Amino acid sequence: MAVRRPLIAANWKMYKTASEAVEFVRRFLPLVAGIPDREIVLAPAFPALEAVASALKGSPAALAAQDAFWEEEGAFTGEVSPRMLAAAGCRYVILGHSERRRLFGETDATVRRKVQAVLAAGLIPIVCVGEREEERERGETFSVLDKQLRDGLKDAFTVDPGRVVIAYEPVWAIGTGRTATAAQAEEAHGFIRGRLSESASREFAAGVRILYGGSVKPDNIAELMAMPDVDGALVGGASLEAESFARIVAAA
C-alpha cells in the first residue's frame, strides 16, 4: 500500500496583506511545532508569497500559490507564471478552484494547460474538482468528477503520484458551512481513486493524495480524516486564524 502523507492546506483567497500573512505565520508555527507526520501548506495571495516564504524558512510548512498562468513569460498583463512562483519559493499551486471556474471563466481546458505548465516548472498542482449543488441533485456528481479529471488532469496521469494532489471540493460546501458528511466525502474520494486506477494506473491511484475541501473546521476534520480515501484538507475560512488552523492541523 502506498503511504500517503496527510496534507493540510490553507487557501487564504483574497485575504491578508503581506504583513498580516507574516503575522499569521509568527503565531501559527509555534502552535504546530510538535505535530509530526503531516504536511502543512499555506497559500497566500501573490503579493504575500515572498514574505511568507521568508517567514517559513527553516519550518516544515510549504508555500503554495492560488493560481498560475500557463506561459513562461510574455505579454500577458496581470498574469503570473509557474517559473515566477517557483522563484518566489512556492512548492505547490492550487489550480481550477471553483471560484476561478465560476467567476473567472476557468474551464477544464484551461486547467489542463495550467497543470502542464505547473508540472513543467517542477511545482506540484493541487487540482480542484467538485460538483455544483444542482449537479448533485440531478445525480451527476460522478459524471462531473469524471469529466473534470479526464479533461483537466490527464497529462498528470503518467507522473509520479507524489507530484500531483487532487482536492475534492463540492461547490455547495465551499464557504457555506455545509460540510459534506464523511460518508459523502468518502464516496466521492473513492470514486475519484477508482477512476484514476482505470484511466491512469493502479500505482498512480494508490499514491495520489486526495484532499477534501468545503467548510472544514476544527470540529469536523477528524471525522473526515478517518475516511480511508481522505488524505487531507483544503481549508478556506477556518484557515484565516492561526489558532483555528492549528487546531485543524492537530486534529487531522
Interaction site with ligand PEP (CB under 6 A): 11, 169, 174-175, 213-216, 234-238
Q: CB neighbours of 123 closer than 8 A, spacing ≥ 6? A: 68, 82, 85, 86, 90, 91, 92, 93
Give residue 87's identity as a one-letter amino acid code.
A
Output the smallest distance, CB 214 to ligand PEP, in A.
5
Output the smallest distance, CB 173 to ligand PEP, in A.
6
The reply to whether 189 belongs to the active site is no
User: Nearer to ligand PEP by C-beta: 11 or 141?
Assistant: 11
User: DSSP letters of 166-233?
Assistant: EEE--GGGTTTS-PPPHHHHHHHHHHHHHHHHHHT-HHHHHHSEEEEESS--TTTHHHHHTSTT--EE
User: Cα 156 to the chain's mean position, in Å?
Assistant: 15
User: Nearer to ligand PEP by C-beta: 61 or 173?
Assistant: 173
Q: What are residue 232's DSSP bridge partners?
A: 7
Output the smallest distance, CB 94 to ligand PEP, in A.
8
User: Nearer to ligand PEP by C-beta: 11 or 184?
Assistant: 11
Output the smallest distance, CB 211 to ligand PEP, in A.
9
Output the smallest distance, CB 116 to ligand PEP, in A.
22
By the 8 A CB rule, do 197 and 219 touch? Answer: no
| Of residues 217, 214, 192, 186, the one with CA closest to residue 205 | 192
Q: Which of 39, 97, 135, 189 is catalytic?
A: 97
Q: How far apart are CA 249 and CA 155, in angstroms?
A: 31
User: Nearer to ligand PEP by C-beta: 161 or 237?
Assistant: 237
| Of residues 190, 203, 196, 189, the one with CA closest to residue 152 | 196
Q: Which of 99, 131, 169, 186 is catalytic?
A: 169
By the 8 A CB rule, do 27 and 57 touch? Answer: no
User: Nearer to ligand PEP by C-beta: 201 or 244?
Assistant: 244
**Catalytic positions, please?**
97, 169
